[in-house]
Amino acid sequence: MSPMADPTSRAGTTYVSQEIIAWTNRVHASHDPSLQAAFDTPAMTGIPAIMVGESEGKLLSMLVAMIRAKKVVEIGTLAGYSAIQLARGVGLGGRVWSIENDPKHAELARENVRTAGLGAIITVEVGAGLEVLPRLQAHGPFDAVFIDADKANYDEYGRWAAANVRPGGLLLGDNAFLFGKLLEDSPTAAAMRRFHEEARAAFETVCIPTPDGLLLGVRR
C-alpha cells in the first residue's frame, strides 16, 4: 500500500525530499539553454530569485496549451522565465502580454525573450499592474491570466481576470499560500483570502499544493 493510500497516514505529511524534486524536474521539466538563461538571470544579476520553479513553469506551459490559449496576460514578469513558458504554450500566432513594474527587470526580461526568439509573441509592458491592465482590455477577452506579482493586489487582479477571461479560460495565481501567512491578521493576507473566495465565485477552482500554492480556476 502506498503512503497516500494508507488510511493511518496524516494529512500534511511530507514524503518528498529535495533530491526527489530535483530528479523529477530533470526528467519532466528540464531546461533548454533559453529557459536556463532566464531561470539563472536573477542569480546572475542580483535581482530577487522569486520566479516559479521548473515544474511549475512547465505546468503553466502545458495548461495554456491544453486549452489552446492564444491570448494570455501575465502580471509579474521578473526576468521573463514564466513568460517564456507561457509563450511556448500558446505557440505561433499566440500573444503574451507580461506586466512588470520594475524597468530593470523588464529590460532583463526583454533580453531573455529576444534570446529565446519569442519577441513576436511576448510583449513586456512596464508599469504597475493596476495601471497597465485597463490598457490591455481592448485585446480581450483572454484565454488565461497568470498572477505572480504584488500580493496585496491579488484581489484586484482576480476581479480583472473574472471580467476579462473567456468562459473556459484559466485563472492562475502563484503564492496562493502567501508564504505560509494566508490566515494571518494583516491587510495583505485579507486581500489574498478575498482573491481565493472571489475566484471561487467566478471560476471552478482548486488550490494546487505546490511549495507556496498555485490557485487554478476555470471560468464558468
Mean pLDDT score, 153-179? 98
Residue 40 has phi, psi (to 5 degrees) of -85, -15
Rounded to whole angstroms, how far apart are CA atoms 83 and 89? 10
State yes or no: pLDDT of 3 exceeds 70: no
Query: How many angstroms separate the CA atoms of 12 and 219, rounded?
Result: 29
Rounded CA-CA distance 149/100 in Å is 8
Which residues are paired to 123 by β-bridges? 97
The top-level CATH class assigned to 14-219 is: alpha beta
Instruction: Check residue 15 and give its pLDDT.
Output: 81
Residue 15 neighbours by CB under 8 Å, 6+ apart: 3, 4
pLDDT tens for each residue of 4-33: 444 444 555 668 899 999 999 999 999 999
Q: Model confidence over 60-94: pLDDT tens digits?
A: 999 999 999 999 999 999 999 999 999 999 999 99
pLDDT beyond 50 at 211: yes
Residue 13 has what pLDDT?
66
pLDDT (mean) for 132-147: 98
Cβ count near 25 (within 10 Å): 16
Return the pLDDT at 11. Answer: 54
Mean pLDDT, rounded, of the chain: 94
Domain residue ranges in the chain: 14-219
Question: Residue 10 has what pLDDT?
Answer: 52
Say whether pLDDT at 200 is over 50: yes
**What's the pLDDT at 16?**
85
- Residue 1: the pLDDT is 38
Distance CA(126)–CA(104), nearest Å, equals 10
Q: Residue 12: its pLDDT value, please?
A: 58
Percentage with pLDDT > 90 across the chain: 93
pTM given for the model:
0.93
